Structure 1
Amino acid sequence: MNYITPFFFGFLSAVVGIIPPGLINMTAAKVNHKEGKKNALWFVFGAVFIIAIQVFFSIIFAKIIHRRPDLVALLREVGLGIFSTLTVYFFWLAKKPKDKTKKLGAKSVTKRFFLGMLLSALNFFPIPYYVFVSISLASYHLFSFDTTSILIFVNGVVIGSFLVFYFYISFFNKIESKRDFIMKNMNTIIGSITGLISIITLFNILEYYW
């Protein structure tokens, strides 16, 4: 049993999905700046706890879909349409994002833990993202839907997510100084990611029909 592959791809998919500045990672950095690392880490623990649950059920759903090749092909076509639309939107139509992180008052670690859970639960992106990732990996025989591989993949996602959040916490001052530049170019960053996913998905579709 190869334990390294599912862990590596779980870790990598988490880093790719979370590293662009967003509400959760920027809030983690804000909590660290205003209240200290202890509260920030509890916020991250809450966020990662929900992410682990979302990833697990996403893969279970993907496992069901994977048994139906016709549904997998349909999902890829739908994914191609969605990611292509997002690419066009972020490159040419979207307005420059504004920093919407709110000022934070001092709170207990328990409240920060539940705040992390809440913000993570309100973020539905991980569910379709990890369904798509796990099915794509399985189509290349890089991932299997047995219980052990699923749990290892989830652990990879958890560790990858935590390290990205920890990076934001540890390097907040540098992020803060460059945040305006990052926010101005966020549409380009996201558009590039969705564009790359669209190209990979297109090749998968062509390979399926050929």
Structure 2
Amino acid sequence: MQQIITLLFFTFGAAFLASLPPGLLNLNAAKASVEKGKANGVMFGLGVAVAVMMQTYVAVRIAKYILRNQHVIEVLLQIAIVLFFVLAIFFFIKGRKQRHREIVLVEGKKRNSFSRGVFLALINLLAIPYYSGLNTVFHGQGFMTYALEDEIVFILAAGGGTFLAMYLYVFYFDKMEQKTSAFSKNSNYILSALMVLLFIITCIRFFNH
């Protein structure tokens, strides 16, 4: 039982801390909350959490294989480089189109917010090597095994920690009513800049790999 609690605590904390810095997913959660209402932001965060649990399941399954075959990580990084570059251009163009528009808060479809959360989280391919590495470290420390209950706890804790970070962004920006309009107009530029930063970081990681 102590081992399960330790695994739950560290996995939840690692997922929460990884999702806390401003990035594509949490800023989109805040953006959904600002533009479509808090409920849509929460649904977006839930979609992200579900996608992270799917990625974590894959990460656990291929953890040993990734460690023995470094070319798998190289392929994932190559794909991530292309995606971040395309997304940077996409958000910049979207920001230019939105700059001269009047921002109106509307209640969007919660199902669409959930699907968008799942999609954006799934294209974040760096999550798989991250949770594979985390799984390997925990296994080396002795509190992560490949028993079914450990895998379930690991996957659920990763999703739970991610959702908590998403919810905090939704709650925080939802309360900043006086800054809602400014955030809505500039959020796409912020996301584009973050994509450029992630593109640079991923390139550095790839060429130093």
TM surpasses 0.5: yes
1:130 aligned partner, one-letter code: Y
Question: How far is the alpha carbon of 1:3 from its aligned partner?
Answer: 1.7
Question: How far is the alpha carbon of 1:143 from its aligned partner?
Answer: 1.6
Residue 45 of structure 1 corresponds to 46
Q: Is the 8 A contact 1:9 1:153 kept in 2?
A: no
Deviation string, structure 1 residues 129-176 (Cα, Å, up to 9, x no partner)? 111111122112232121101111111111111110011111123895
Percent identity reads: 26
Distance 2:107 2:121 in 1: 20
Residue 13 of structure 2 corresponds to 12
Give the 3 Å change call, closer, same or farther, for CA 120–74 of structure 1 in structure 2. closer
The number of equivalent residue pairs is: 174
Give the 3 Å change call, closer, same or farther, for CA 144–107 of structure 1 in structure 2. same
Unmatched tracts of structure 2, length 5 or more: 74-87, 99-104
Distance 1:50 1:74 in 2: 25
Distance 1:50 1:142 in 2: 24
Deviation string, structure 1 residues 100-121 (Cα, Å, up to 9, x no partner)? 4856975311111111111111
Q: Is the 8 A contact 2:4 2:143 kept in 1?
A: no
Q: Is the 8 A contact 1:46 1:117 kept in 2?
A: yes
Q: Is the 8 A contact 1:28 1:40 kept in 2?
A: yes
Distance 2:69 2:25 in 1: 32
- How does 1:75-94 map onto structure 2 within 5 Å? none
Q: Is the 8 A contact 1:44 1:116 kept in 2?
A: yes
Residue 114 of structure 2 corresponds to 113
Residue 202 of structure 1 corresponds to none
1:32 aligned partner, one-letter code: S
Distance 2:125 2:157 in 1: 19
Unmatched tracts of structure 1, length 5 or more: 66-70, 80-96, 196-210
Regions of 4+ moved over 6 Å: none
Residue 79 of structure 2 corresponds to none
Residue 76 of structure 2 corresponds to none
What's the RMSD between the two structures over aligned residues?
Answer: 3.9
Q: Is the 8 A contact 1:10 1:155 kept in 2?
A: no
